[in-house]
Structure 1
Amino acid sequence: MQPQDLMLMLFGTYALDEGVCLGAGGIIDTLGRAGVSAHATRSTLSRMVGRDLLHRRRAGRKMYFGLTERSSAILRDGRARIWHDGAVNDRWDGTWTLLSFSLPESMQRERHDLRSRLAWSGFGRVQGGLWIAPGRVDAAGIVSSLGLKAHARVFFARAEETTDIAELVGDAYDIAEVGARYEEFLRRWDGAQTTGAQTTGDPLAERLRLLAEWLDAIRRDPRLPVEHLPTGWPAARAQKVFRALAEAYREPARAVAGDLLETLPLSSPG
């Protein structure tokens, strides 16, 4: 796991919607338990401040870090994906969202940002600038938030009966790669205490790793309808393992975090 992934899981669990900043010392100690060096943690904090994901606050001789509006929105989106949407789409109504866009070569960064947002939202590329996603997705909101409304068109549609959905899905998505992520997650976490997986026995570190690895597993999953997935698709079993372990670690991790993390209310004077 990258230090930033663990950092986001830490802030998403103990700072998001809590109205607090986290002390630098506790952050360093916590990520140290997960195998991140103090130097790497400090560098990650600085980079995240530079990317408008965290802001610094000084109180006396101590430094604290809080979430920005941007990172809070990212974490709320991730929280909804993890706990509300889930990894299994068994309530599909047959609708597809289609997005067509065309960007000039001079807008390579914007193209990269758009593709990243589309992949997170379940889109796959059919051909050229035509992307699809199952269900009704707020594609207009995505392109508008990136300032690209003038370059895109959004449609909602249903496939005609003669359309080979299996072929369409195979063209737009790398199903094997998505499935491999869930299989890797299961190898790491399913029966972690009996299969030889390397665990530290530290509930806080383990829960942060668990959350970060699960988010990595679902990050590129378009949540395709179950009827268009291979037999024995591993997402449901992986989700069951994740939720059971997340709940088992929850209170022990919170107790450890309570001893390690020093907080500063957002409303406190700097």
Structure 2
Amino acid sequence: MLTEGRVWQPEPATPSDRAAVGRARAQRLLVTLLGDHWHAGRSPLPSGGLVAVLAEFGIAPANARATLARLTQRGMLERTKEGRRTSYRLTESASQTLRRGARRIFASSDSDDWDGVWTLLAFTLPLDDAHQRRLLRARLRWLTFWPLYDATWVTPHDRFDEVHEQLGELGVTDAVVLRSRDFELLPSTRARLEAAWRIDVLADGYQRFLERHRTVARQADAGAVGPSAALVARTELVNDWRALVGDDPDLPARFLPASFPRAQARVMFLRTATALAEPAQQRFEELVRTPERG
């Protein structure tokens, strides 16, 4: 049975906790769906169709409409109305964010040819701007930066242009970005960074991913997944993979144990996602044409 989420999450203890998890799941699923099926120039999607899409995942109409409202409030969706018909489209900023995310989600291989150069970012933000701080940290982690100290982050990848773009989008002007091979981590600093990378937890997450999606991967290879099942399976697959790579600093091979299962999981993910893409798209297009109900 396919499940959704990160490496592992305990069951919510109270009804309010379960409701919060359900709201978060619905939003993650819709973001994944739009990232997968939205393309530039597409007409806005009718609300009734999006509600029908989310129903495929067991999300009730009232919760689906609440999800549309929350993503609109977050600036990810733009609501339009023509007569009695309400439709939604991705905002331009959300579309750009999802396109950037797709490049990493669907990257075809691990890079083993590290040149030994690190990218370092040091920044300062107003102490009272907690929202901007949280947003910047989330975007830095997606770019594979990890903190040495609270406002000093590093990655072994060349993210010079990308981090400049993110700083500009967020209006962060007090920062230094540099690329250097002359980079020495003293023992305590290296130990803190390695602890933050959580390589053992990541390895467990990739192994769980392989186990969770192995059955549907075999069925997809055999062409035995119909459109309805393909939409759910591909969305859950991409959703789980997105969560994994979002927690992964994408370290060069020299920092990883030989048994690290990311490469095996990536091969299965890409093969299965490709096999499911066409029937999933077919079902999505059928559902978004569902007429609005009164």
TM-based fold match above 0.5: yes
Aligned 8 A contact 1:98 1:154 in 2: yes
Larger mean CA deviation between 33-42 and 11-20 belongs to 11-20
**What is the percentage of aligned positions where both structures have the same residue?**
31
Report the alpha carbon displacement of residue 183 of structure 1 after superposing the two structures with TM. 2.0
- Cα 1:87–1:120 change in 2 (3 A) is farther
Unaligned runs of at least 5 residues, structure 1? 264-270
Is 2:155 the counterpart of 1:119? no
Larger mean CA deviation between 186-195 and 35-44 belongs to 186-195
| Alpha-carbon distance in 1 for matches of 2:37, 2:242 | 17
Report the alpha carbon displacement of residue 45 of structure 1 after superposing the two structures with TM. 0.1
Larger mean CA deviation between 126-135 and 152-161 belongs to 152-161
Q: 2:202 aligns with which of 175, 178, 193?
A: 178
Q: 2:281 aligns with which of 254, 257, 262?
A: 254
Larger mean CA deviation between 112-121 and 174-183 belongs to 174-183
Is 2:35 the counterpart of 1:8? no
Aligned residues: CA RMSD: 2.6
Q: What is aligned with 1:106?
A: 128
Report the alpha carbon displacement of residue 121 of structure 1 after superposing the two structures with TM. 0.7
Q: What is aligned with 1:93?
A: 115
| Alpha-carbon distance in 1 for matches of 2:132, 2:109 | 28
Give 1:41-190 correspondences, 5 Å limit. 41-84=64-107, 86=108, 88-138=110-160, 139-150=163-174, 152-159=175-182, 167=191, 169-190=193-214
- Corresponding letter in the other structure for 1:208: T
| Alpha-carbon distance in 2 for matches of 1:192, 1:262 | 27
| Alpha-carbon distance in 1 for matches of 2:289, 2:254 | 48
TM-score (norm 2): 0.79
TM-score (norm 1): 0.85
Q: What is aligned with 1:267?
A: none
Aligned 8 A contact 2:118 2:183 in 1: no
- Corresponding letter in the other structure for 2:146: G
- Cα 1:258–1:109 change in 2 (3 A) is closer
Report the alpha carbon displacement of residue 144 of structure 1 after superposing the two structures with TM. 2.6
DSSP 3-state at the match of 1:126:
strand
Q: 1:229 aligns with which of 248, 253, 256?
A: 256
Unaligned runs of at least 5 residues, structure 2? 5-24, 220-224
Per-residue deviation, residues 128-181 of structure 1 (Å, max 9, x unmatched): 42211012213333223221222x211211145896797575145222232232
Aligned 8 A contact 1:15 1:22 in 2: no
| Alpha-carbon distance in 1 for matches of 2:196, 2:178 | 17
Report the alpha carbon displacement of residue 23 of structure 1 after superposing the two structures with TM. 1.4
